[in-house]
Amino acid sequence: MINSISVLFVTGDPDIAGRVIGRIRFRGRAVRAKQAGNLRDIERLLQNYRFEAILLMDRDLGIALSDLNEVLYRRGRVTPIIVMTEQPEEDRAGILDTGAFAAVGIDCDDLAAALVLKAVGHLSRNRELNHLRTKLQDADRRYLIMLDSSRYPIACFNRDTAIYANDAWRACFEIQLSESLETIQLPQLVAPERRDELNALLRELNEQDESTEGFETLSLRTRNGHDFEADVVINQVIIDGDVCTVVHLSAAGCAALEEPHEPLRQQRVETPGLGRDASPPRALGQQRQPAPTEAPAARTAPPESAPEAPEPEIETAPEPAPPPAAAPPPPPPRKNAKQLLQAIEGPLLSAADPDRTFALALFELDVLDADDPAQQESLEPLIEQVGSLLDMHFPHPATVARFENGTYGVFLPTEERGKLEHILDEVLNQAATISHVLEDVTCSGTLSCGAVLTDDSGPAAEELLSQAEQALAESRREGGQRYSFYLPREASGSRPDQDEIWKERIQNAIASDGLRLLYQPIMGLQGEDIPRYNVFVRLTGDQGKVYDPGEFLPAAERMGIAAPLDQWIIRHAIATLSQQLQEDPRTVFFVKLSNGSLDPEPVVEWLRKFLERSQVPAANLVVEFKEATLLTSLEAATRTAKDLRALGVELSITDFGNSLDPFSVLGRIDAAYVKLDPGLLENLARNADSRETLAQLTAKAHEQGRQVIVPFVETAEVLSVLFTLNVNLVQGFLIQAPSEQPAFDFAQGL
């Protein structure tokens, strides 16, 4: 039997579609083809069919790739698109940037057929990969639950760093619940004189297959310095895709482990439907017998020969009191974020109905600051009312869960966009009618909502949650009491009409000072207290909405207005810098220069005017180039950088370190600073490879006389690692969030 594929041809020319179909069949695949000539046809067909590939022929149709992407995301479908176009080959990169799987010439029938088959294979493998990933995550979770319930001490280590420990392990090694496992290294738990034996055992295991177990009796040491002997069993497993070392301690012959320990927390595994204080269930069919009651005394009838006696009064037993009304059963406990993710993974594990779509929605009170626990506690009655409202509108099989910050998540295993929008309208309208009085102020129950639609070809549960969070943030930015559906960047695209809107907004903001600057300190880790600030820009649009640079700078580049935008930012930053120099003449500002400023009037000319007008020394300014700008416009960037250095301005390269040879550009651009790509910080505290990469980049930069800046530092664990790697400077929310004024006590530091 020939395996067939389902393809949607978006074209007004069926002859071209026929030729492509013939080429696909020539390769041994049957085609179940449908044709659409407008967006209405596409909507109708996507509602009734699921396609494995879409072939868009953009000649004479007027259907943009972004339009097609938007329709797909509205339907919750992940479908690869191949575009047949009359654009010259050198101009087709933009089609790929807007989300196409491939772009070919309008007359390349054979190549288009080959790419359709490639896209179908890619989709199939991606679907299988998602199913396997979800199964592995489910297996990992079940494995850790099993370890949780063990009475023996068990812990898991990734590159010697603890990532899991059950209650028995924590009690055995005197590890408090408040202590992060990331601070615990496996060798630290072994007496120093026995660590060589542990290392030898681990080396042997690394040379064996995963089923091999190692066994050794070692002298161990608790976090409080108490030593004890124990039998140690070590094996290796795969957890979350990483090879991890699992360490079991046996209680045999070990008095320290045989002593009972107070549980540090309740077991996370409980019998479903049976609480801790509930009595055991009765056997099937067993009836609960009522307690016996004492019968009233019987009166004896007189014998027949006895004289007739008056008829006695009949005593009747009092009417039994009606049993008290049974109390209504307590509502089931509210599901949490972890249980919501498990509910999402269930349908993704099953491929029984691949035509189903899923919806995930997040709801948050507009008056709620999710980062303020005190406010959340005071708004608890209002939050609970919202939960009851969601329970009413999203019954089974939907899953309603509450997160720790007061946000609610709802997962619907099967849902269509139109039906979901109707329900969301009802929920938001009814939520606006509830309220709560807090300190004589009436707080409204208005909600913001972010939603995402997908199918089994979409991302894993965690990524779906992240997409819903982005949509929720968009609703809140728009003023609240509304819902937004997640739309990826390629779906929103770079449509000319949208770029024109951004161009008008930016020009209006420049003319009316609708832009504002924010300043974030860059702090030294090597003892110096020179005030350094990174300059950010925000754009205020209609109705006071504030836009981040990532939303409008790409359009500014495409529409040719990036240069005047750069000039506005740098001119106003220099004016503020002039005021700061009166307090500390060492102050340095870091300002960005976009790719759009490399071609018009030389930067050095207008920058010199700004500096002279404000009487700011050039040495107090650092101009930043993105590494991508240097790689794509190296000649123009080299010329600009040379002129800036001649003026006395220092240079910095941002997003540094992710190209094949990042230091090659430093041979052309004499930058005093390199600001590392934030992606290099991923799992830095736990990932030895990431630490090694960052250490090598830092060491090589120091050899060349460059200072290393690490941005997006948000946790103390990352900061402690950066101290050990001799990084020069750091910036991020851990130091201080961007603020309206450059005000930070560099002498005091953290």
423 and 501 share a domain?
no
Average pLDDT for 246-268: 52
Distance CA 678, CA 95 (A): 27
Predicted local distance difference test score (pLDDT) of residue 611: 94
69 and 86 share a domain?
yes
pLDDT at 295 over 50: no
Give residue 326's pLDDT band: very low, low, confident or very high (50, 70, 90): low
79 and 174 share a domain?
no
44 and 94 share a domain?
yes
Give residue 328's pLDDT band: very low, low, confident or very high (50, 70, 90): low
pLDDT at 265 over 60: no
Domain end point (choices 428, 458, 492): 492
Average pLDDT for 444-467: 82
Predicted local distance difference test score (pLDDT) of residue 145: 80
Beta carbons within 10 angstroms of residue 439's beta carbon: 6
pLDDT at 304 over 80: no
Distance CA 230, CA 218 (A): 6
Helix (H) or strand (E) holding 140: helix 109-148
Give residue 675's pLDDT band: very low, low, confident or very high (50, 70, 90): very high
The verdict on residue 281 lying in a domain is no
The CATH number that applies at residue 45 is 3.40.50.2300
Predicted local distance difference test score (pLDDT) of residue 139: 77
393 and 451 share a domain?
yes
189, 159 Cβ separation under 8 angstroms = no
Predicted local distance difference test score (pLDDT) of residue 591: 95
The CATH number that applies at residue 198 is 3.30.450.20
Say whether pTM exceeds 0.85. no
**Most confident by average pLDDT, 282-286, 320-324, 385-389:** 385-389
Predicted local distance difference test score (pLDDT) of residue 447: 92
Which pair of structure tokens corresponds to residue 621? 């300014």
Which residues are CB-contacts of 615 (< 8 A; sequence separation ≥ 6)?
Answer: 578
Q: Where are the alpha helices (DSSP H) in 559-683?
A: 562-583, 603-614, 627-632, 634-647
70, 489 Cβ separation under 8 angstroms = no
The verdict on residue 541 lying in a domain is yes
Give residue 715's pLDDT band: very low, low, confident or very high (50, 70, 90): confident
Predicted local distance difference test score (pLDDT) of residue 306: 42
Predicted local distance difference test score (pLDDT) of residue 371: 65
pLDDT at 300 over 70: no
pLDDT at 601 over 80: no
Question: Which segment of 469-473, 581-585, 586-590 scores lowest on mean pLDDT?
Answer: 469-473
Average pLDDT for 572-581: 95
pLDDT at 150 over 50: yes
How many distinct structural domains can be found in the chain?
4
Predicted local distance difference test score (pLDDT) of residue 261: 42
pLDDT tens, 221-245? 988 888 888 888 898 887 776 788 8
413 and 485 share a domain?
yes
Which residues are CB-contacts of 98 (< 8 A; sequence separation ≥ 6)?
Answer: 65, 66, 69, 490, 493, 494
Which pair of structure tokens corresponds to residue 594? 């976009």
Structural domain harbouring 47: 4-129
pLDDT at 305 over 50: no
Predicted local distance difference test score (pLDDT) of residue 615: 94
190 and 61 share a domain?
no
Question: Which segment of 12-26, 501-515, 561-575 scores lowest on mean pLDDT?
Answer: 12-26
109 and 183 share a domain?
no
Distance of CA 8 to the CA centre of its chain: 32
183 and 229 share a domain?
yes
pLDDT at 647 over 90: yes
The verdict on residue 288 lying in a domain is no
Predicted local distance difference test score (pLDDT) of residue 522: 95
Average pLDDT for 252-274: 39
Domain end point (choices 443, 471, 492): 492
Predicted local distance difference test score (pLDDT) of residue 451: 92
pLDDT tens, 351-381? 445 556 788 999 999 888 766 777 778 888 8
The verdict on residue 135 lying in a domain is no
Predicted local distance difference test score (pLDDT) of residue 549: 83
Distance CA 566, CA 510 (A): 10
Predicted local distance difference test score (pLDDT) of residue 316: 47
pLDDT at 550 over 50: yes
Give residue 332's pLDDT band: very low, low, confident or very high (50, 70, 90): low
The verdict on residue 385 lying in a domain is yes
663 and 679 share a domain?
yes
pLDDT at 449 over 90: yes
Query: Which percentage of the chain shows pLDDT scores above 90?
Result: 25
Beta carbons within 10 angstroms of residue 409's beta carbon: 26
Distance CA 161, CA 182 (A): 6
Predicted local distance difference test score (pLDDT) of residue 20: 87
Domain end point (choices 474, 492, 510): 492
Buried b (16+ CB within 10 A) or exposed e, 555-578: bbbbbebbbbbbbbbbbbbbebbb
The verdict on residue 546 lying in a domain is yes
pLDDT at 294 over 50: no
The verdict on residue 137 lying in a domain is no
595 and 627 share a domain?
yes
Predicted local distance difference test score (pLDDT) of residue 689: 78
Predicted local distance difference test score (pLDDT) of residue 276: 30
pLDDT at 509 over 50: yes
Distance CA 730, CA 740 (A): 20
**N- to C-terminal Cα distance for the chain?**
70
Instruction: Specify the 3-state DSSP secondary structure of 112.
Output: helix
Q: What mean pLDDT value characterizes the chain?
A: 80
Of 493, 494, 393, 512, the C-alpha closest to 449 is: 393
The verdict on residue 744 lying in a domain is no
Predicted local distance difference test score (pLDDT) of residue 535: 95
Distance CA 277, CA 267 (A): 14
Average pLDDT for 93-107: 87
527 and 650 share a domain?
yes
Q: Where are the alpha helices (DSSP H) in 27-58?
A: 39-48
